[in-house]
Amino acid sequence: MVHFLLAALEAGGVDPHRLARDAKIPDHVLRDKDVMTSPHFALRLWELAEHERADPQLPLTVVARFQTGELDLYDYLFTTAPTLREGFDLSRRYLHLLTTNARLAIESETDQEVTYSYRYLDADGRGADMALQFSVAVFCMRARAGTGQPIVPIRIGLRQRAPRSHRAFGEAFGTSRVDFDAPVTTFTFRARDLDLPMLGADPALARILDRYAATLDPPPAITWEQDFRSLLAGELEEGPPSLTAMARRMSLSPRTLQRHLAERGMSWRAELDTARRWRASQLQPDDPAELARRLGYAHPRSASRAVQRWSRPDDE
């Protein structure tokens, strides 16, 4: 998603290099399109891009540039399935090929309709709202492209607050039944539409792709704690970190970040101290000013006091 989003924004006139730098995306992520990385980078990109373009419906604009096949194996599992229903079943089963931070599931099912839900495990704020918009729009677009039929969802449910105008949402999703402030993001299709054949249905190739995908071990899920500590280490590289800056990097409000930490028995001060202590153990700088800079302290004296505290026997 990071690579797709940067390319789509570049096509819209945004400088992708500056955007990637502002989002603090690591160089190795930009060099390797197949690398799995923190979902917060993509969420931050959405927020920065919305500010850059001043477009509150940016995800609905970007989705028009999405082409089936850009998601590699994940897309071809979908397009070669016999029916739209089976394509969505494969999309649910192999979502981990794209992300370990989301779940696509059947929320409810009757003889007349099926409601799918799409949720993030650890994401909040405006970036998550925009990413959910985009994901649902992609699923609706893939249904139309995959079957070659003008399939319209019965209704859409979005977690975000209702915007001033709903027009763009109706045009993107093909239905005026878009509910906001929903408990979970959902999209509902008629059962008869889900039984439509796929244009690219290829039973032999579908079996080969399914067997191959099944051999790929899901990447280890990045826990919230691991994600937080990895991003905090990156924040230390930039200088004295702050709770506000860290919350922004995670596409959260400072209050929400504090709540997430408290729910896990963590605190900002303790995590920052631990991150600095580990970093100090990897360094041997003789210059106090350099030590302070590498540990994210504003003053050398603060860094020296911290190192002395960590070196006491009762603090080991």
Question: In this structure, are 274 and 181 located in the same domain?
Answer: no
pLDDT at 316 over 50: no
pTM of the model: 0.74
Cα Rg of the chain, angstroms: 23
CATH number at residue 164: 3.90.1520
Predicted confidence (pLDDT) per residue in 207-253, tens digit: 999 999 999 877 666 677 887 888 888 788 777 888 998 888 777 78
For β-strands 102-109 and 113-120, DSSP reports them as antiparallel
Question: In this structure, are 136 and 203 located in the same domain?
Answer: yes
Question: In this structure, are 180 and 232 located in the same domain?
Answer: no
Q: Is 37 helix (H, G, I), strand (E, B) or coil?
A: coil
Q: Which of 67-76, 128-137, 235-244, 268-277 has the lowest mean pLDDT?
A: 235-244
Question: In this structure, are 80 and 175 located in the same domain?
Answer: yes
- Of 215, 250, 274, at which residue does a domain stop? 215
What gap in Å lies between CA 28 and CA 277, rounded to an integer?
25
pLDDT > 70: percent of the chain: 96
pLDDT at 315 over 50: no
Q: How far apart are the first and last CA of the chain?
A: 42
Q: What mean pLDDT is predicted for residues 123-143? A: 89
Question: In this structure, are 132 and 272 located in the same domain?
Answer: no
Predicted confidence (pLDDT) per residue in 41-70, tens digit: 888 888 888 888 888 788 888 888 888 888
Q: For residue 128, what are the CA distances in angstroms to 131, 153, 158, 192?
A: 5, 22, 11, 31
Q: Is 22 helix (H, G, I), strand (E, B) or coil?
A: helix
Q: Which residues constitute the domain of residue 291?
A: 224-315
